[in-house]
Structure 1
Amino acid sequence: MYKIITDGSCDLSTERAQELDVLVVPFYVSTDGINHQKEIVELGIRDFYQFMIDNPKVFPKTSMPSIQDYLDVFGPLAKDGIDIICICITTKFSGSYNSAMNAKNMLTDEFPDVKIEVIDATVNTVLQGMLVEEAVAYKQMGATFEETVAYINKIKISGRIFFTIGGMDYLVHGGRVGKLSGIAAGALGIKPLILLKEGEIFNNGLTRGRKKSKQKIVEQIINIS
């Protein structure tokens, strides 16, 4: 018997996680720079995004789950002799994977017969959620622990996220582009096309205008498929 776990980056709703019988270790979110809330548990995903829409000049910060957060989830399962597969956000974006690995290492000595596999999804958000759904589907078909781990590691390398953005504010604030470049791009209506693959973000082109940027993203998806 084994349990599938993921972190809050997967963007699975509470209802969907319950339907899949998946445990989600949440990230922490701060909308004021002082107080932190557990995403999903204390602040819903849609509520978080709605806050960003309603407060465009406020830039929330997130922090990764701690080792203790993972111990709180892994520990009871290990005590019951249940093996664990944990699928984490790409290590290029967060230290969530490292927290999970540290928790695994702390429990391995105490529960040497329990198998714990922590997988770097190399993606995040919806695509990470899709990997979790695939793992659950494979498990439900009768796949063993080792087969499910091998399957997820096999298919994750083909994962791609193509996206564009409505404005440059978050890229400027996050330090991905300079302030002057961001102002110029915004004034000219330039929209970057972005590709996430193998755990990293790449520039995938530029367009003028929101409509054209979305059309180009669709074309890129069709071409790669």
Structure 2
Amino acid sequence: MSKIALITDTTSDLTDAIIEKYNINVLPFRIIYKDREYKDKIEITPEEVYGNLEKEVPTSSMPALEDMENLFESLEEQGYTHAIAVVLSSGLSGIYNGLKVVSENHPGITTYIFDSKSISAGEGAIIEECGKLVEQGKSFEEIVEAIPSIRKRVHLFFVVGTLDYLKKGGRIGKVSGTIGELLNIKPIVSVDINDGKYYTHEKVRGRKQSLNKIVELVKNILDKKKCKFYALHGHALEDSKMAFDELSKHPNVTKAVFEGYISPVSGVHSGPGLVGLVLFEEE
């Protein structure tokens, strides 16, 4: 009889309750300072990363190959026959390729690795849905077949306080940079489902207008679809809570989750001021 393990990484921003409910294995990214290194969400918190940004902006790295190896060895010991992994977009990280290499060292577990082409709750919603399918008794093959259509139900938007951190981290993608900053352009950013990189969904001038616009974009989708709604932030609690409070009252919101801080890894690259809103369409 098959036994299916679920795997994701810390940038999926899953709540502890969801991780526990569906027994999801979470690989930690690494936050790297000049003189030390931390495991994302295990050895360092988002608050600590943001609090230290003025002194030092760390870099980040995908989960250690050793951590991946240890996970697969543990899964084998627990009798798992199959594994489904949903990971951070390959346009933003090398985790997809790294996990693929490690999984090939463990042929005893049939593994499917899905490139979410997303981040944060957009990535998390996909693996959460996989958890529900496992709970329903769906087979490995049935879940693998369903995942691409699950991905199409994700809508993710965010705004940042400044584009400086995306530029420094090399994550700027197709988002307009220097000229936009001079004109006080605050783009609404999303992730391209084709290449998994950031792109400008809308251009808005000024912080207030950008927040109004991101709420409007989410409302337009909710007017047509019933959705789960997630709100997250990067050192922008007040702005994200205002957006959450307004949107969670929409009649087509089936469930509203205020997830709080994004992972420290995401925070390193977005900087302070991020407000992220994610919808997951109900079938």
* 1:102-181 superposed matches below 5 A: 102-108=101-107, 111=108, 114-175=109-170, 176=172
Identity of aligned residues (%): 28
Within 2, Cα distance between the matches of 1:50 and 1:145? 39
* 1:76-87 superposed matches below 5 A: 76-82=74-80, 83-87=82-86
Instruction: Give ranges in structure 2 of 5+ residues lacking alignment.
Output: 225-283
Deviates more, 1:211-220 or 1:150-159: 150-159
Deviation at 1:188, TM superposition (A): 4.1
Task: Provide Cα deviations, 1:41-79, integer angstroms capped at 9, x if missing partner.
Answer: 212xxx224531553463221100133221111112124
Deviates more, 1:6-15 or 1:126-135: 6-15
Q: Is residue 2:199 matched to residue 1:202?
A: yes
Instruction: Give ranges in structure 1 of 5+ residues lacking alignment.
Output: none
Within 2, Cα distance between the matches of 1:64 and 1:153? 23
The residue aligned with 2:36 is: 35
The residue aligned with 1:100 is: 99
- Whether the aligned pair in 1 keeps the contact of 2:18 and 2:128 (CA below 8 Å) is no
Deviation at 1:102, TM superposition (A): 0.8
The residue aligned with 2:262 is: none
- Whether the aligned pair in 1 keeps the contact of 2:9 and 2:87 (CA below 8 Å) is yes
Secondary structure of the 1:91 match is coil
Q: Is residue 2:231 matched to residue 1:213?
A: no
Deviation at 1:27, TM superposition (A): 0.4
Q: Is residue 2:185 matched to residue 1:190?
A: yes
Task: Provide Cα deviations, 1:138-180, integer angstroms capped at 9, x if missing partner.
Answer: 1111211111122222211343311111123213423539xxx
TM-score (norm 2): 0.68
Higher relative contact order (CA 8 A, sep 6+): 2
Within 2, Cα distance between the matches of 1:211 and 1:193? 12
| Aligned residues: CA RMSD | 2.2
User: Taking structure 1 as reference, are residues 204 and 53 closer, same or farther at Cα in structure 2, changes over 3 Å only?
Assistant: farther
Deviation at 1:26, TM superposition (A): 0.5
The residue aligned with 1:12 is: 14
The residue aligned with 2:49 is: 51
Within 2, Cα distance between the matches of 1:16 and 1:39? 18
Task: Provide Cα deviations, 1:173-221, integer angstroms capped at 9, x if missing partner.
Answer: 23539xxx64x64454321121213122211222122111011112223
